[in-house]
Structure 1
Amino acid sequence: MAWAPLPPADICERALNARDPRFDGIFFVGITSTRVYCRPTCPARVSYTHRRRFFDSAASAERAGFRPCLRCRPELAPGRAPMDAVPRLARVAADRIGAGALNGRTVADLARDLGVSERHLRRAVEHEIGVSPLDLAQTHRLLLARRLLGDTLLSVTRVAYASGFQSLRRFNAAFREQYRMAPSAIRRAARAHGGEKVALEEDAPLCLSLSYRAPLAWDALLAFLRRDAIEGVEIVDGRLYGRTIHVAGSSGFVVVEDAAVRPDDWGADVPLRAPATLARRPAHTHANSVNVAVSQSLVPVLMPLLARLRQLFDLDAEPTVIDAHLTQGGLGALVAKRPGVRIPGTIDGFDVALRAILRGRARAGRGKASSDPARRVAWALGEPLETGIPALSRLAPSATRVADAGSARLEALGIPRRRAAAAVAVARLVADGTLRLERGSDVAATRRALTEIAGVTDQGATTIVMRALYWPDALSTTDRALQRAAGVSTARELRARAERWRPWRAYAAMHLWLEEEARSRR
């Protein structure tokens, strides 16, 4: 999560009066008479103008003494997209805190990871975001806890640990201090608003929803992920997406659907429906959200997992702003075909890097699965995983396993020597912490480090930066497919034309890739 400046008060007022969903998560409104803060889309009756205070984040509202609304539930609001206006240190720190970097760790630990002093980190976060790192982390934990209490039947103890608290006692104390009520009161309130939830089997997946700002080109996003998928690791079946995941020592699977998808759209035979992964919908869902079924084994790492899922599907983007900009940049016809195109992110940065290097310029999803080099490496080096879903049976290889295997092992799997050496070189840099392929890392430095490795192409490095670092302005001008789709013949021409698409050239590239893919199928 990163913050842009709070919109002017008059814009906030108009958006609030219109309950404009485009501003959901962009700002929050606190009502001074009730000391409750809401999303701009809250269906409750709004107060008089002089009783409203606007905030750029939930953390700022809670620091000012406001409590979350039980009706619109601010904890479900979409996050914020990366903004150049926010200094990098504060943005990176906020992103990592939102993904659980201070759960069981100190601010000094995070500062050490970022290469700055603890004092400098505290000052940067407080200056740019308005709250301390510890307050920001506490807000994330409490909002996730409220969500789990309202949407699931997890025990209070499991909610506490899944939300990042290190003890049940600290959780209860923090919850009562912040909200002046016991955790059980939230569950009773949720029942009053949403009715009783049906208990599932002990090993049944946990179902949650993740909000986004409409429109969302779900089918276009799935088309890209389908082409990129590795058999056994992930699958796109109908309009459902599923994959195996390893996060912070826990392994399991997720299955995701757009809430706007009707059951009739799944088709007659959908492997991801077994074992009833989405038989129960989340207790709180709406059209502008994706439903996520999470295996019980991943509940202890929900905070980092949900952050990575938001990145994978680019749920924090502001599509109306991006689409309008690209339309002005000459891509209006493509935007009209696919409004709300998103950048496909990743669950694990090394996974994206390995695929990009092994496949080179070849496109995934073409030909037999056995001919896919990424599939061969995944089945040789990835750990098997029992999920109960035959289509999801293996984890993607970790950087450590690829580094330990060495280039000779990859060559024995049919990987060309240059690519094998490049894959192992990147794996070793990631495994020892020299190279961090994650959101918030320095884009220029990461790209430079990648292109200095023999066997990593400009196109491959750009793909890695776009997906792993969640960089919206990534563009490979040497990509011949992009040049054809843009109607130019050289990298220089594409670079010149793409100046009109900044700072969202990666979204323009997605439109061009999708159009070129559609042409190739005609």
Structure 2
Amino acid sequence: MELEFERCYRAVDSRDPRFDGWFVTAVTSTGIYCRPSCPAITPKRTNVRFYPSAAAAQRAGFRACKRCRPDAAPGSPEWDVRADVVGRAMRLIGDGVVDREGVPGLAARLAYTTRHLNRILTAELGAGPLALARAQRAQTARTLVEATDLGLAEIAFAAGFGSVRQFNDTLREVYACAPSVLREAARRRAGAAVPGTEPAVPGTLTLRLAYRPPLDAATLLEFLAMRAVPGVEVADTTSYTRALRLPHGPATVVLTPTAGYVSAALRLTDLRDLAPAVARCRRLLDLDADPVAVDETLGADPLLAPAVAKVPGLRVPRAVDGFEIAVRAIVGQQISVAGARTVLGRLVAIAGRTAERTTDRTAGTDADGGSGDPALTPFPDAAAVAGAPDEAFAMPVARRNTIRALAGAVASGDLVLDDGADRADTEATLLSLPGIGVWTAGYIAMRALGDPDVFLPSDLAVRRGAAAVGLPTDPAALAEHAQRWRPWRSYAVLRLWQLS
């Protein structure tokens, strides 16, 4: 990725926090890299280098700033948005795929050879997949060192390192001190919050998830609360709680938005799931978005400008589980939100019995010896839904068959519904399934795949919202008008839903 020196330098010179996560600033005279907004640096032009990722800066021999914590900055909105192989790879690396499956596993998911994938990522990001995963591993390790009382050897393997020596060497190289020094420094700061963490609560890991302001938390929580599936999630005006299905076992999380960050209280079955849990929570709340860029584009339309000015920072509620969102989309066809919740609650209660038994068996094995919320269990996986009896589906036979076809495709691996999927190929596969049309495929692309540029002109609530601000209500005319909102039409859908 080409970084324009003058633009980057102006962002650093103005300490503009909007660029945190877009790139990092390295200073050759100190050997340290920082966020663009770091108040500790006033670099000369000749001493500055800009890198697209922390991994690239580390590869070039720079250490992370201890003041601004560049590794705890919001993720790059470019990787969040891009549908190409680089964007898909970054999202999968963030979800821990390299730690679980290695670089060959990542390459296989992307349908590239390992050599070609390494070449692409190095050209774009200045670092290959192993270096990118290593940078994430170091941040996970630092979080565990500072936020838990776990032994350092246990942390090393939980963070994905192959040995304690590798763990020690990496943290010394990245943070310029030993893990034990990081822990001691965190304890000395016990009276003040450690950036990226919150005071420990028994049985939990409580972290701060950074975002770019503004964040319209009220609308986000209202959206999730209206659609909360009984037994899986609960939400109110201040927080959102749900069960998660993670690679090494179930978990629960309580997400509480506040000024400057979202508090995430996690109860994990296995500490190795920390990185994917954080990635999925960030994805769910759309925390890596660039709200200023979105609002500038939508606010340029005189008909949307008042709504944007009144409620800035609207996010697209996304997903911790793409299959779950797809089932929700099919169930929600032609019934009310309340009706969909009832139907989904029944499906969870019956198809999720196996998942409930799994949660019961693993309860009490999380990071601090506690257990997850026994009232909440993860949404049943594709295999459980595909094999559920007819009485689990309180819906017409055709819709039941659609869900079973979807579940079968996901369970077999023919359909992948996560952030690493190719969006065009996934949409084509969805449309080939019986009972899935353009609206359903678009809704899944918007929420499950994180596509920022989906528009649903035939959606009744979208058309009502359009009428409320004087936009065309004819689907064809509305779709034509929406071209000016690209590449943020998914956010326009949320705006219009809010106005309906």
TM-score (norm 2): 0.89
Shift of 1:244: 0.6
Q: How does 1:381-460 map to 2 (within 5 A)?
A: 381-382=351-352, 383-384=355-356, 385=359, 392-405=375-388, 409-410=389-390, 413-460=393-440
Give the equivalent residue in structure 1 for 2:462: 482
* Match status 1:170 vs 2:166: yes
* Match status 1:332 vs 2:305: yes
Shift of 1:5: 4.3
Shift of 1:210: 0.7
Give the equivalent residue in structure 1 for 2:274: 302
Contact 1:153 1:199 in 2 (8 A): no
Q: Distance in 1 between matches of 2:305 and 2:204?
A: 41
Aligned to 2:385, the other structure's residue is in SS state helix
Aligned Cα RMSD in Å? 2.4
Shift of 1:511: 0.5
Give the equivalent residue in structure 2 for 1:373: 343
Q: Which of residues 500, 510, 513 in structure 1 aligns to 2:494? A: 510
Q: Distance in 2 between matches of 1:121 and 1:87?
A: 15
Contact 1:94 1:125 in 2 (8 A): no
Shift of 1:179: 4.5
Give deviations 1:240-272, integer Å, cap 9, x for gaps: 100011110311200011122xxxxxxxxxxxx
Q: Distance in 2 between matches of 1:85 and 1:317?
A: 8
Contact 2:206 2:264 in 1 (8 A): yes
Give deviations 1:366-410, integer Å, cap 9, x for gaps: 3696xx2111101111132468787842221110101122xxx23
Q: Which of residues 306, 314, 336 in structure 1 aligns to 2:286? A: 314
Give deviations 1:107-147, integer Å, cap 9, x for gaps: 22222222222221111111111111111111111122123
What code does the residue aligned with 1:319 have?
P
Q: Distance in 1 between matches of 2:11 and 2:92?
A: 30
Shift of 1:291: 0.5
Distance 1:109 1:45, change over 3 A: closer
Q: Distance in 2 between matches of 1:300 and 1:394?
A: 19
Q: Which consecutive unaligned segments of at least 5 residues does structure 1 have? A: 261-287, 517-522
Shift of 1:87: 7.3
Q: Which of residues 326, 335, 343 in structure 2 aligns to 1:353? A: 326
Q: Distance in 2 between matches of 1:454 and 1:191?
A: 57
Shift of 1:161: 2.7
Give the equivalent residue in structure 2 for 1:235: 234
> Which deviates further from its counterpart, 179-188 or 418-427?
179-188
Distance 1:212 1:231, change over 3 A: same
Distance 1:194 1:19, change over 3 A: farther
What code does the residue aligned with 1:447 have?
E
Q: Distance in 2 between matches of 1:225 and 1:115?
A: 34
Give deviations 1:16-48, integer Å, cap 9, x for gaps: 232211111112111212101111222325333
Distance 1:457 1:78, change over 3 A: same
Aligned to 1:232, the other structure's residue is in SS state coil
Distance 1:79 1:196, change over 3 A: closer
Q: Distance in 2 between matches of 1:351 and 1:367?
A: 17
Q: Distance in 2 between matches of 1:102 and 1:390?
A: 30
Contact 2:430 2:441 in 1 (8 A): yes
Aligned to 2:264, the other structure's residue is in SS state strand
Shift of 1:82: 4.1
Give the equivalent residue in structure 2 for 1:44: 40
Aligned to 2:301, the other structure's residue is in SS state helix
Contact 1:29 1:40 in 2 (8 A): yes
Aligned to 2:481, the other structure's residue is in SS state helix
Give the equivalent residue in structure 2 for 1:494: 478
Q: Distance in 2 between matches of 1:368 and 1:62?
A: 48
Q: Distance in 2 between matches of 1:381 and 1:419?
A: 16
Q: Distance in 1 between matches of 2:188 and 2:290?
A: 33
What code does the residue aligned with 1:512 have?
L
Give the equivalent residue in structure 2 for 1:463: 443
What code does the residue aligned with 2:219 have?
A
Give the equivalent residue in structure 1 for 2:108: 112
Q: Distance in 1 between matches of 2:179 and 2:93?
A: 23
Q: Distance in 2 between matches of 1:56 and 1:92?
A: 16
Contact 1:377 1:410 in 2 (8 A): no
What code does the residue aligned with 2:438 have?
D
Q: How does 1:172-191 map to 2 (within 5 A)?
A: 172-191=168-187
Q: Which of residues 274, 283, 292 in structure 1 aligns to 2:264? A: 292
Q: Distance in 2 between matches of 1:457 and 1:114?
A: 26
Distance 1:368 1:52, change over 3 A: closer
Contact 2:33 2:63 in 1 (8 A): yes
Q: How many residues align?
A: 478
Give deviations 1:135-191, integer Å, cap 9, x for gaps: 111111112212332344333233223322243343223334544532112222334
What code does the residue aligned with 1:394 have?
T
Shift of 1:222: 0.9
> Which deviates further from its counterpart, 393-402 or 188-197?
188-197
TM-score (norm 1): 0.86
Aligned to 2:234, the other structure's residue is in SS state strand
Distance 1:218 1:50, change over 3 A: same
Give deviations 1:291-324, integer Å, cap 9, x for gaps: 1000042532011111111110000100011100
* Match status 1:256 vs 2:258: no
Q: Distance in 1 between matches of 2:51 and 2:157?
A: 29
Q: Which consecutive unaligned segments of at least 5 residues does structure 2 have? A: 364-370
Identity of aligned residues (%): 39
